[in-house]
Amino acid sequence: MKKIIVSVTTDLISDQRVHKICLSLCNSGHHVTLVGRKLNNDFFLKRSYEIKRFNMFFKKGFLFYLFFNIRLFFFLLFKKCDVYFSNDLDTLLSNFLVSKIKKKPLVYDSHELFTEVPELINKKFVKSFWLYIEKKIFPRLNHVITVSEGFSSFYHNKYKNSILVIRNVPFLNNDFLKKENSFKFFNYKNDQINIIYQGALNKDRGIKLMIEMMEYLNANLYLFGSGDIEEKLKKHMEQKGLSNKIFFIGRIGFEKLQHITPKFDLGLSFEEDSCLSYRYSLPNKIFDYIHAGVPVLCSNLPEISKFIKENNVGQVLNSRDPKKIALQAREIISKKETYYKYLSITKNKFYWEKEQEKIINLFDGF
């Protein structure tokens, strides 16, 4: 049994990938401690592995990352550990330094191209700071994993590391047929067309486009998530007079969301081609929709469009004109039964029980 410390700054309630990795390592006989930050929504968070949450005075920005990493450094330094596991660039520096001091192996999981996200496009100093850390540390990493072939190729071409792809897919044995009867979100009606988006409400996610699409659809749109531009999106919805058909649900724990998603007719993923992180991403919500038996309408970006077309589980946007998007949405919904066979086949090709073998084998090799 190895003692593994997993570090992350994301919301522990909604981060499926971190939970699945911790659970897989725990179930394979290792002692796992997940280190994160304390948020208001995770007071009753229960897991089968140990959790340590820092109560941070600063909630975002440079000072948050600075003080989080200082606390993380000293926590890791004085905690017994056999393998360190860093999730994304904002936890890498502390993990790297302690792994070198204590001469212990480090695994780095890049969930995205951290220095290429849209939030950093106009923040040259912040971007250069994170890029400096990446350039100094990444080439010296021996064990790197990521979520898509696009990310893997990008990092390999840039830093020459060997990158292991572990897709962020759901467990196969989730029983979606047992749909919760307690689904009581405002105005949800089984006899209407219902469309879902699950994920962050952040810049360039295409949420504004989804709202504008609803002008031309006799349907309801449910947005499961929260983010920096949530209030702007709500104002835009109100200006369009669409408050009666668009509903902001907020962030929902993935354990509950996996029972909710199958109730919908269509799943959306409209990321813009605004940065390399989006261009080469293959979002986990795509797999969530597929495992829930929900066809997908997605952006025409290389990784995601290739996957959708190869597996015939939905359609790729022909245009980013709201009226034309509404036509595509109607087409998919009108013949959604024709996708069910391919959704089932794809679900049985891409699932966590298969992916987790890669991470288990990696840690068993230390």
pLDDT at site 177: 43
Under 8 Å between Cβ of 294 and 287: no
21 and 115 belong to one structural domain: yes
* pTM for this predicted structure: 0.89
Confirm whether 38 is domain-assigned.
yes
How do 163-165 and 106-110 pair as beta strands?
Answer: unpaired
The total domain count for the chain is 2
Confirm whether 342 is domain-assigned.
yes
| Mean of pLDDT values over 319-339 | 96
Q: With 70 as the cut, is the pLDDT of residue 301 above it? A: yes
At 182, is the pLDDT very low, low, confident or very high (cuts 50, 70, 90)? low
pLDDT at site 176: 45
Query: Across the beta sheet with 194-198, what order do the strands follow?
Result: 246-250, 220-224, 194-198, 266-269, 296-298, 314-316
157 and 213 belong to one structural domain: no
Instruction: Return the higher-pLDDT residue of 255 and 267.
Output: 267
250 and 162 belong to one structural domain: no
User: What's the CA gap between 364 and 148, in Å, rounded?
Assistant: 23
Q: With 90 as the cut, is the pLDDT of residue 256 above it? A: no
Q: Which domain holds residue 212?
A: 194-347
72 and 85 belong to one structural domain: yes
153 and 200 belong to one structural domain: no
At 122, is the pLDDT very low, low, confident or very high (cuts 50, 70, 90)? confident
In terms of Cβ atoms closer than 10 Å to its own Cβ (0-12, 13-18, 19+), residue 255 is exposed
Under 8 Å between Cβ of 56 and 11: no
Q: With 70 as the cut, is the pLDDT of residue 184 above it? A: no
158 and 235 belong to one structural domain: no
Confirm whether 326 is domain-assigned.
yes
Alpha carbon of residue 155 to chain centroid: 19
User: What's the CA gap between 98 and 73, in Å, rounded?
Assistant: 7
Looking up residue 29, the CATH number of its domain turns out to be 3.40.50.2000
pLDDT at site 325: 98
82 and 18 belong to one structural domain: yes
In terms of Cβ atoms closer than 10 Å to its own Cβ (0-12, 13-18, 19+), residue 44 is exposed
For residue range 9-64, list pLDDT tens digits in order: 987 777 889 999 999 999 999 999 999 888 765 555 678 899 998 888 888 888 88
pLDDT at site 259: 86
* Phi and psi at residue 207, to the nearest 5°: -70, -40
157 and 9 belong to one structural domain: yes
Confirm whether 207 is domain-assigned.
yes
256: which 2 tokens?
């509950």
pLDDT at site 44: 56
Residues ≥6 apart with Cβ < 8 Å to 74 = none
| Mean of pLDDT values over 328-348 | 96
Q: Report the chain's mean pLDDT, rounded to a whole number.
A: 91
User: What is the sign of the dihedral through the CA atoms of 333, 334, 337 and 341?
Assistant: negative
pLDDT at site 178: 47
Confirm whether 61 is domain-assigned.
yes
Q: With 90 as the cut, is the pLDDT of residue 77 above it? A: yes
107 and 17 belong to one structural domain: yes
Confirm whether 25 is domain-assigned.
yes
Least confident window among 13-17, 95-99, 351-355: 13-17
Q: With 60 as the cut, is the pLDDT of residue 294 above it? A: yes
256 and 331 belong to one structural domain: yes
pLDDT at site 103: 97
Least confident window among 153-157, 222-226, 254-258, 341-345: 254-258
For residue 230, what is the enclosing H or E element?
A: helix 230-239
Confirm whether 23 is domain-assigned.
yes
Cα dihedral 314, 317, 318, 319, rounded to 10, equals: 160
Q: String of b and e for 169-206 (b: at least 16 CB within 10 Å)? A: bbbeebebeeeeeeeeeeebeeeebbbbbbbbbbbbbb
86 and 36 belong to one structural domain: yes
Give percent of the chain above pLDDT 70: 95
